[in-house]
Amino acid sequence: MSSSTEPRRRAQDPGATPTTSHASASPSSPAVPAATGAPDGTGARERFLAGVRSGRWLRPVLLANLVAEVVIVITGGVVRLTGSGLGCPDWPTCADGSVTPVVHQAEGFHKYIEFGNRLLTGPVGLLAVAALLAVVLLRPPRPRLRVVALLPVLGVLVQAVVGGITVHTDLSPITVSAHFLISMALIAVSTLLYLRAGEGDGDPRPVVPPAVRTLAVALSATTAAVLVVGTVVTGSGPHSGDADQPARYGFDPRTVSWLHADLVLLLVGLLVGLLVALHVAPSTPTARRRAWWVLGVVLVQGLIGYVQYATDLPVVLVALHMLGACLLVVAVTALWTSLRERTDAGVVVPSR
C-alpha cells in the first residue's frame, strides 16, 4: 500500500502521456536521487539502476513481456500447423538423451521447428523475469504491482511443465487445449500488468454502475467459453500438431464449430448491450473506446473464423485466428481495467 508521503499518482489511459506516475517519473524525480557519473563505468551502472528504480524502463519492459507472450502462441501455432508437434519426441531432452535435435533423428525438419519453439521459452522467461525485476526495483516500492508481476514468471514455469506433459501424452488434445488456454491467461495477466503500471496502487473505484459491471462479467465469461470451445474445435479437426498419429477429442468438427460460432454470436450480443449501456449510463470515454475496440476485434476474428471454416482451414488463416484470439484477450482485459480507477490511497481523482 502506498504511503501518503509518496508522490501523487493519477490513474490514466495507457495510451496517454503519463504525468506523475512511478512508471513515468524521470530519473531526476525526487524519489530517486540522481546518479553521479564516474569514469570507471560505475556511473553508467548507477544511472541505469536509477532509471530502473524511477520506472523509466517499466512500460517498455512490460510491453516486451506482453508481446513475447503473444509471439510464443503464434510460434506454437506454427509447430501445430506444420505437424511438428512431436518433432522432438522427448522432453526436456529432444531425442536420444540430447537436449538439441540430432542429425540422424527421423523427424526431418519438424525437429528444428519444435526445438526452435522450445528455445523461445528462454527469451520469454527472461522477459518475464525482467518485468518482475523492473517492478520489484521501483522506488518508492509498489507491493501490489509486485504480486501481478510475479504471475508471468510463474506462468512460464507452468507452461514449460505443461509443454512437457503435452509431449509425454503424445499431444493429447486435452493438454494441447490446456497449454493454449494457460497462454491466454498469461496474456491477460501481462496486459493487466502493463496497464496497472500506469495506475496508482489504491483500492479500485468503479466508474460504471453495478449493472454494467455485471454485463462485463457476462462478456468475459462468454469470451472464455469461446476460447475453450475454440480449442475443442481445433482438437476435433485436422490440425492436431502431429500429422502421423492424430489424437482427437472425437467430436463432430461441424457441430463443435457451430457451437463455437453460436457462442461468438452471444458474445456480439452482449457486447452491443454493453456498448449501449456505456453510452447511456455513467462511464468514461476510455471505457467506451475500449468497448468499441473489443467489438472491432470480435468482428474481424469472427470473419476469419467463418472464412477458415468455409475454406477447409488454410494454415495462414488458422494462424491469424490464433493471433485474433490473443488480441481479443488483450482488448477484453483492457476493457475490464477501464471499468474502474485506481489512484494512490487518499488521492481523489476527478472522474472523467
Which residue ranges make up the site for ligand HEM (CB under 6 A)?
A: 77, 180, 226-227, 230-231, 233-234, 237, 239, 257, 260-261, 264, 267, 298, 301-302, 305-306, 308-309, 313, 318, 321-322, 325, 328
Separation in Å, CA 120 to CA 22, 63, 78, 171: 31, 17, 13, 19
Beta carbon of residue 45, minimum distance to ligand HEM (angstroms, whole number): 43
Residue placing its CB nearer to ligand HEM in the complex, 22 or 179: 179
Sign of the alpha-carbon dihedral angle for 85, 256, 302, 191: negative
The 10 Å Cβ neighbour count of residue 300 is 14
Nearer to ligand HEM, 149 or 334 (CB): 334
User: Considering the complex, what minimum distance in angstroms separates the CB of residue 177 from ligand HEM?
Assistant: 7
Rounded CA gap, 284 and 248, in Å? 46
CB of residue 318 to ligand HEM, shortest distance in Å = 4
Nearer to ligand HEM, 20 or 121 (CB): 121
C-beta of 57 vs 336, nearer to ligand HEM: 336
**Least distance (Å) from ligand HEM to the CB of residue 241?**
9
Q: Which candidate, 235, 183, 224, places its Cα nearest to that of 72?
A: 183
By beta-carbon proximity to ligand HEM, the closer residue of 175 and 308 is: 308
CB of 9 to ligand HEM, least distance (A): 34
**Backbone φ, ψ for residue 49 (5° rounding):** -60, -40
Grid coordinates belonging to 311: 475454406
Please say which residue, 118 or 142, places its beta carbon nearer to ligand HEM: 118
- Residue 131 CB, nearest approach to ligand HEM (Å): 24
Q: ∠188-181-177 over CA atoms, to 5°?
A: 170
List of residues 6+ apart from 1 with CB closer than 8 A? 143, 144, 201, 345
Please check whether residue 230 is in contact with residue 206, taking contact to mean a CB–CB distance below 8 angstroms.
no
